Structure 1
């Protein structure tokens, strides 16, 4: 009888352990693909690409999101599409160059973030387009890449600071009555256009 009771208690303890373990795995924030979507290699490639830009090269004109009163979540959601547009239009290099590989790595990062649904696309059925937070800028390429790095680091922070899923609903923030952003270019540095591709 005692053997039967001891075995039963052991079985109950084992089941409780399994239950607690499963509960921990579900609710303790098991690292997923989004937490590991941005690697140190991505950041290193971005820094190398920034380093390879000429200090006094020609300015580029591009559109980017201004944070204004947006939360980090809604700013990142609005700004990430501009990163891809910026890389596709302003940072084009020969396929056998280092800068091409760095740029391609960053573009693949953005594609993966969307394919893994780490950031959902803006749903214009329930959210206004955040175009009111965009501004046309004219800066040297390095300054544009600094904006890219800022947004990527913000995204990393969102992924690692909380075990809960990020609430990407920006319906209220995108519809708040903020003044329209100016489209006048912000001129920082202008110069002659010289290729900045370093092999």
Structure 2
């Protein structure tokens, strides 16, 4: 027990030190379930080949939706994930900085910050959202209650495109554990499927936790 407490204390201290030294936001997306829960969720996901892209259009996923006051979903995430963010009356940031955990880069210009859908919209279409109503797809595309939305650099987001973890992983290997846990939780929450290569990649990434 003493060894476990010491290990946990050391780990938490390291996380706190990293947050202070990096100057990252105090909120960020909700913390994903732990490794054990993620492993259980992964085992519960339906494994099948990806569906086609027939009929896909980003407009079938209305975003960004209005949230509170004059803020839409994108502006809400910019405020949440940034450091020392100030906004105007229209809720758009007038100053601030954003740390992209995917590639460990700081972004100073809000127009260059991308709000990544952790499970890309096109990937979700191939995994089950093709059969949903546009209203349900809108809820998915604007989900602030899971790990689905995160502010990252435009470079990393464009590099990721609509890839799943078998095809793309953050260059920041230290984020692989959280990335896998978040991806699994989003797919589990929304009842989306995974393919076999994706499952293998996620299982390997959980091994880095």
The higher radius of gyration belongs to 1
Question: Normalised by the size of structure 1, how large is the TM-score?
Answer: 0.25
Report 1 or 2 for greater relative contact order, CA contacts < 8 Å, sequence distance ≥ 6.
Answer: 1
Question: Normalised by the size of structure 2, how large is the TM-score?
Answer: 0.24
